Amino acid sequence: MPRVAGGGNELDHWGVELHAATDRGLALLALQPLSVAFAGSTTGVYPDEGRVEATVRSWPRGDGSRRWIVVSVTVITLIISMFVAVLAVSSAAEAQSSGRLALVGVLHPGSQPLGLLEAFRDGLRGLGYVEGRNVKLEWRFADGQSERLPQLARGLVNLKVDAILAITTEAAQAARSTSGTIPIIIARVTDPVGSGLVASLARPGGNVTGLSAMTGELSAKRLQLLKEALPQARRVAVIWNSGNPGPASVVRELENAAPNFGLTLHALPARSDSDLPGVFEAIAKGHVDVVFALDDPFITSHKQQILDWATKNRLPVISQYREFTEAGALISYGPSIRDMYRRAAYFVDKILKGAKPGELPVEQPTQLELVINLKAAKVLGITVPQSLLARADEILK
């Protein structure tokens, strides 16, 4: 039963404060004027909040005045949109103060083991979170089957998690379409604004915030570096995951920039294991000079297969992230995935302490790494210009 607070001599306009007990504590529901002019019952009808009936009584005072007290309130209909918002924003903070484990879901299109995602755990530990003591992580992997992401997202929503970390655009869109209230932190998302996840980077609005990978904006720079390293290159094969909407925008950026560097792009989509043999065959028939592996969790899971085939066919590979270069690619240029995952913990912490995701600006990488693998260059008989080596952040030998 709702509780009513108030009291006074004159009851022309009373402020009636309604509260309701919920499984997350006592949530303020409404604060509305209630007109009362006599002892008995009165009704206030509020279009947005519903219909409220109140019963009042009076008692005489020694000075001849009367004291009116509201003794009961019946809520006939109550539809309050801010009730949901209050719970979404405050639930994690209440969990911290009450000693309840904060529940954080992680939605990933790839497969276990965690690999680079361990950096997210490290980030949480650095902020004082200990699994099993004050936080519980619910991991959900689609195992390369992007069609499973909406179902996995619904499972996390049904668990009433306090926040969801969504890896890549496809996972973020699945989470966003499943819940408009649970805070969603994004990572490895190419274009949060263009994909409709946020209104703007500075003020995301809604329930999504996190980190942009800036992948599309760096497309021209990566082709420039490719041309510096391989001046004779003319044809570039781009292997990308067509099941992830994020890389599609990067492919368009690459296609637009390629003519400026005298390059022709051949975009070759692959969204499952069975697509890769056909992609390799198309590369061989296309007489390409270099392979651009447009990295995402699916492509990452097959990086060694791609690199082994390319090396066998004496084709250099470039990519966005250093993990490809460490595994045998020639060049990578972009932000650190590990740093992005670690930084995602910062957003989780802010939200668990009561911050609204729509008011937390989406961050872009502040550091970009140029990594060159001289061992791969030697195997392929490539001499990397000294001018390019001088600008490298790291050279692998």
At 375-392, the pLDDT tens digits run 999 999 999 999 999 999
C-beta of residue 376 within 8 angstroms of C-beta of residue 316: yes
Confidence tier at 144 by pLDDT (50, 70, 90)? confident
Percent of the chain surpassing pLDDT 90: 66
Helix (H, G, I), strand (E, B) or coil at 58: strand
Residue that the structure tokens 């879901």 belong to: 105
Q: Is the pLDDT of residue 351 over 80?
A: yes
Give the class (CATH, top level) of 84-213+339-359: alpha beta
- State pLDDT tens for residues 50-87: 434 444 444 444 545 444 444 344 433 333 334 434 44
Question: What does the alpha-carbon distance between residue 84 and residue 31 come to, in Å, rounded to a whole number?
Answer: 16
Return d(Cα 66, Cα 58) in angstroms, integer: 6
Q: Contact 299/251 with Cβ under 8 angstroms?
A: no
Q: 84-213+339-359 and 216-334+369-396: same fold?
A: yes
- Give the whole-angstrom CA distance, residue 250 versus residue 256: 10
pLDDT at 326 over 60: yes
Q: How many residues does the chain have?
A: 397
Higher pLDDT residue, 397 or 93?
397
Which residues make Cβ contacts (< 8 Å) with residue 106, sequence separation at least 6?
A: 117, 120, 137, 138, 139, 140, 164, 165, 167
pLDDT category at 97 given cuts 50, 70, 90 is low
Say how far residue 120 (Cα) sits from the centre of its chain.
Answer: 13
C-alpha 8 chain-centroid distance: 50
For residue 31, give every residue at least 6 positions away whose Cβ sits within 8 Å of its Cβ, in sequence order, or none: 15, 16, 17, 18
The model's pLDDT over 236-285, given as tens digits with 9 standing for 90+, comes to 999 999 988 888 889 999 999 999 999 999 999 998 889 999 999 999 99
| Of residues 272 and 8, more confidently modeled | 272
What are the boundaries of each domain within the chain? 14-79, 84-213+339-359, 216-334+369-396
User: In the numeric block, which tokens belong to residue 339?
Assistant: 């740093």
Average pLDDT estimate for 142-168:
96
Distance of CA 123 to the CA centre of its chain: 16
User: Which spans in the chain are helix H?
Assistant: 81-98, 118-126, 149-158, 169-178, 219-229, 245-257, 276-286, 297-301, 303-312, 322-327, 337-352, 374-380, 386-389
Token pair belonging to 370: 């140029």
Determine the 3-state secondary structure of 130 from DSSP.
Answer: coil
* Residue located via tokens 């949480």: 124
Look at strands 14-22 and 264-269 and give their pairing: unpaired
Fold of 216-334+369-396: Rossmann fold (3.40.50)
Beta-carbon contacts of residue 395 (< 8 Å; ≥ 6 apart): 371, 372, 374, 389
Question: Residue 310 has what pLDDT?
Answer: 97
What is the model's pLDDT at position 262? 97
Helical H segments across 266-328, by residue range: 276-286, 297-301, 303-312, 322-327
